[in-house]
Amino acid sequence: MATINEEIQRRRTFAIISHPDAGKTTLTEKLLLFGGAIHIAGAVKSNKIKKTATSDWMEIEKQRGISVATSVMGFNYGDYKINILDTPGHQDFAEDTYRTLTAVDSVIIVVDVAKGVEQQTRKLMEVCRMRNTPVIIFVNKLDREGRDPFDILDELESELKIGVRPLSWPINIGAKFKGVYNIFEQSLDLFTPDKQKVSERVEIDDVNDPRIDQAVGEADAAKLREDLELIEGVYPEFDVDTYLQGNVAPVFFGSALNTFGVKELLDCFVKIAPSPRPVQALEHEVKPEDTGFSGFVFKIHANMDPNHRSCIAFVKVCSGKFERNAPYRNIRTNKTLKFSAPTAFMAQKKNIVDEAWPGDIVGIPDTGNFKIGDTLTDGPELHFKGLPSFSPEMFKYIENTDPMKSKQLEKGIQQLMDEGVAQLFVNQFNGRKLIGTVGQLQFEVIQYRLLHEYGAQCRWEPISLYKACWIESDDDEALAAFKRRKHQFMAVDRDGRDVFLADSNYVLQMAQSDFPKIRFHFSSEF
């Protein structure tokens, strides 16, 4: 029997983040290939090789080629148990990604060698910095023409505001790409473009080994030695502690599509990445090795299985051991629940699990018991913090187009809002329902899913608003006066909190100066 400490030490729970099209889903799939979780890249269970990766399984994702829902995948690699959380790259789903980052211990960022750091990557890096999450960077698509590796390193440092240290180095790029020298393990990997197999590896003792010249030619070998000397001169020696503190990011180069440079990344990752870390609760810091079970819901997903109208709540295990059929208390509702069919995920395949350890993600069938941010425990009161909703920037009224289906529409909206896809407000002036999102694409996703999963049709009516912000005050009279004056612009969110709908930046600033006793919040965590 493994002890809890051994189980914690072998866990690696991380998210892969990137801008759309940088190759994140491809990288995820290649990591699964090495874990033996899938056997042919790009293959789904049927014998036809489909062009959809195992982690993108919602219909609308397949149509648009983007990851909309965060998928969870677990597999074993050597002695390690690896949990990957694949996040939506599309910026309209940033909210989902922010929440996922609260459930991981480290992050791998994928950057396209030709495009460099893009806006979405910067934003996500800010969230990692807020939490001091350690990051490793994978520079992808080296078999295509791109920028000079040294320029990329400079850009990573200035754009992501973090120190970098290359742990592998490319020999040419684009059409002349010959391979990667693995600085971390001192070996040379030669590139042969093949999506199914891994390229050959030449074991060498040091960089002056004449076999390098035979493998890549004298000119390239000389350039490699020059580059490596420059790297040693410019970048400090790699130190695992500075990486774990989130101050320096190791950088790897490769081509995920051609399964190249991915194994080097994975081998180094399992050695240096952190095992599950303590999580801050309002009461105290919860350590993974604490005896009592505790965990929190960071995501709720409706209709994992289109044949059953069910939701699944994703729970990150923070401490102790999760056991099937054991009684756990939901702190928010104070109900004690037992779970007879908790699942672990391997992309679409779900297996029922009997136990889970800190760092693992467990799926729990949900019939409306959970909200995002709920804490589950078998011990004392705990409230995990850090699952914010941000104030939305786009708003539309949602209207039912088929009066016969109003029940289905209600239920669909309810479940999709539980998932945190968007936020629902009810306008206090006219009683109409208002949906707020971070991006335009979410409206399409909501409409599509309401129709295909709930059989309900809706239409959107535009409304011009600048921002929704939560308001509160210690002075009841001031709050009442504000609500009277702004009654046309007042709404409540699903938890019954007061929300002010400002239709322009000017109106918001005037309200802030006219009502000094009111506090305006731009995230729901206050």
The pTM of this model reads: 0.75
Structure confidence at residue 386 as a pLDDT band (50, 70, 90): low
Q: What is the mean pLDDT of residues 365-380?
A: 81
* Structure-token pair, residue 169: 């180095």
- One-character DSSP codes across 478-508: HHHHHHHHTGGGEEE-TT--EEEEESSHHHH
3-state class (DSSP) for residue 368:
coil
CA distance 84 to 125: 18
Q: φ and ψ at 103, to 5 degrees?
A: -105, 5
Q: What is the pLDDT of residues 197-221, one digit of tens each?
A: 555 666 666 667 777 777 777 777 7
User: Which residues pair with residue 280 across a beta bridge?
Assistant: 285
Structure confidence at residue 138 as a pLDDT band (50, 70, 90): very high
pLDDT, position 366: 79
pLDDT, position 42: 47
Burial classification of residue 198, based on how many CB atoms lie within 10 Å of its CB (0-12 exposed, 13-18 middle, 19 or more buried): middle
Q: Where are the beta strands (DSSP E) in 324-390?
A: 327-330, 335-338, 343-346, 349-352, 355-356, 361-366, 375-377
Handedness of CA 238, 241, 244, 247 (dihedral sign): negative
pLDDT, position 306: 54
In the chain, what percentage of residues exceed pLDDT 70? 83
Structure confidence at residue 93 as a pLDDT band (50, 70, 90): low
User: Per mean pLDDT, which range of 240-244, 442-446, 478-482 is the poorest?
Assistant: 442-446
Is pLDDT at 519 greater than 60 in this prediction? yes
Is pLDDT at 234 greater than 70 in this prediction? yes
Is pLDDT at 261 greater than 70 in this prediction? yes
Q: What is the mean pLDDT of residues 301-321?
A: 73
Hey, how many other C-beta atoms are within 10 angstroms of the C-beta on 214? 11
User: Per mean pLDDT, which range of 257-261, 331-335, 479-483 is the poorest?
Assistant: 257-261
CA distance 193 to 175: 11
Is pLDDT at 104 greater than 50 in this prediction? yes
Strands 179-182 and 168-171 come out as antiparallel
Residue from 11, 61, 45, 52 nearest 28 by CA: 52
In the chain, what percentage of residues exceed pLDDT 90? 5
Structure confidence at residue 258 as a pLDDT band (50, 70, 90): confident
Q: What is the mean pLDDT of residues 130-134?
A: 83
Query: Considering the chain, what is the average pLDDT of its residues?
Result: 80
Domains of the chain: 4-178+237-272 (3.40.50.300), 279-377 (3.40.50.300), 394-521 (3.30.70.3280)
pLDDT, position 143: 81
